[in-house]
Amino acid sequence: MKDRRKILSLGYLGLAIVVAIVFVAIYGIDRRPAPTPAPALSAAKTAEPPPASTAWPDYSSNGFGFVAPAGPDGALIGSGYELITRTFAVIGPDVADADKRFAGNNLACQSCHLDAGTKRTALPLVGIFGTYPKYSARSGRVISLAERIDECMTRSMNGRALPPSSPEMAGFLAYLRFLSGPEPVRQSPAPSPPEQANVARGEEVYGSICAACHQPNGMGLRWGSAADGRGYRFPPLWGPDSFNDGAGMDRYERAVGFILHNMPRGVDPAHPQLTLQQAWDVTAFLQTKPRPHYEPVR
């Protein structure tokens, strides 16, 4: 009888350790108060989180698609995937719950971080989890991953920062941790153009190639109608519902590389359809267009 109790309590200890490991895996870098009991936490201090898969995921329409993993954090990871791919529908400016209107435009994170952040040439979010906290030249100090997410929330999404303890921030972090296994890849900035970028030539490129999807007026094409919260089939490239002038996509170096390797959408990044000169010219044209102004204090 005594032995059985011993085995049972050993069993509970084992369970506590497993719970603790999973907890650290999800909330490892997060300094919010722990929702699990303190003894479990201290038991996990020496334990390593279980390693995420090292295979590069492919959530494009050619891939196998995203499947939320089984286990206690599966639902949270799934919510993060939803937030990245259908941002406008969860925290966009037109969602029913006014308290959840964190984003100021109807883009999705994956409007730029293509294929839910898994496309190598399109600002991939794979493998970046472990690189934070890290020094940010823009902020002039070390920032957390949550702070980096908020930079895209306030600039690319023209919205406001997420409360650190919100389920949305937890979802984003859980999803990015889920993608943390492979080594991150960073694209080097696009090389300089053969000739100086030219707005008039860029306008021609826009009219003959980009306008078919992004529309001649640059406002993109919605799935449904304005203010229905269903987002865009082709996102706007300027105007009130675009990223603001503080966003990375409003910088030449970032925009040229992104456009060259990923646009028109569907192009093989190894064999771009645009020449380097065209990518610079069309970016110069985009730079002349209006977009919301970034307000640092919100």
**Does residue 152 interact with ligand HEC by CB under 6 A?**
yes
Query: How far from chain centre, in Å, is Cα 107?
Result: 11
End-to-end CA distance of the chain: 63
Spatial distance between the Cα atoms of 5 and 121, rounded to a whole number of angstroms: 57
Q: How far is the CB of 123 from ligand HEC (least distance, A)?
A: 5
Can you name the residues that pair with 136 across neighbouring β-strands? 141
**Does residue 109 interact with ligand HEC by CB under 6 A?**
yes
- Binding ligand HEC by CB under 6 A: which of 26, 178, 222, 254? 254
Spatial distance between the Cα atoms of 110 and 113, rounded to a whole number of angstroms: 4
With tokens 């969602």, the residue in question is 95
Can you name the residues that pair with 135 across neighbouring β-strands? 142
Query: In terms of Cα–Cα distance, which of 258, 297, 247, 264 is closest to 280?
Result: 258
Question: For ligand HEC, which stretch binds (CB under 6 A), given 5-13, 41-49, 248-256, 288-296?
Answer: 248-256
Residues 183-222: x where in contact with ligand HEC by CB under 6 A, - otherwise, as a string: ---x------------------x---xx-xxx--------
- Binding ligand HEC by CB under 6 A: which of 79, 87, 158, 244? 87
Which of the residues 155 through 174 are near ligand HEC (CB under 6 A)?
156-157, 172
Question: For ligand HEC, which stretch binds (CB under 6 A), given 24-32, 34-42, 190-198, 245-253?
Answer: 245-253
In the 8-state DSSP scheme, what is residue 71?
S
Spatial distance between the Cα atoms of 12 and 10, rounded to a whole number of angstroms: 5
| Backbone φ and ψ of 90, nearest 5° | -105, -45
Which of the residues 255 through 274 are near ligand HEC (CB under 6 A)?
259, 263-266, 274
Provide the CB-side half-sphere exposure for 100 (13 A, CA): 15
Does the CA dihedral 176-140-102-240 come out positive or negative? negative
Question: For ligand HEC, which stretch binds (CB under 6 A), given 31-39, 63-71, 93-101, 153-161?
Answer: 153-161
**Does residue 243 interact with ligand HEC by CB under 6 A?**
yes
**Does residue 153 interact with ligand HEC by CB under 6 A?**
yes
In the 8-state DSSP scheme, what is residue 270?
T
Residue type, 256: V
Q: How far is the CB of 22 from ligand HEC (least distance, A)?
A: 23
| Closer CB to ligand HEC, 73 or 241, in the complex | 241
Residues of this chain that interact with ligand HEC (CB under 6 A) are 87, 107, 109-114, 123, 125, 128, 148-149, 152-153, 156-157, 172, 186, 205, 209-210, 212-214, 234-237, 243, 247-249, 254, 259, 263-266, 274, 282
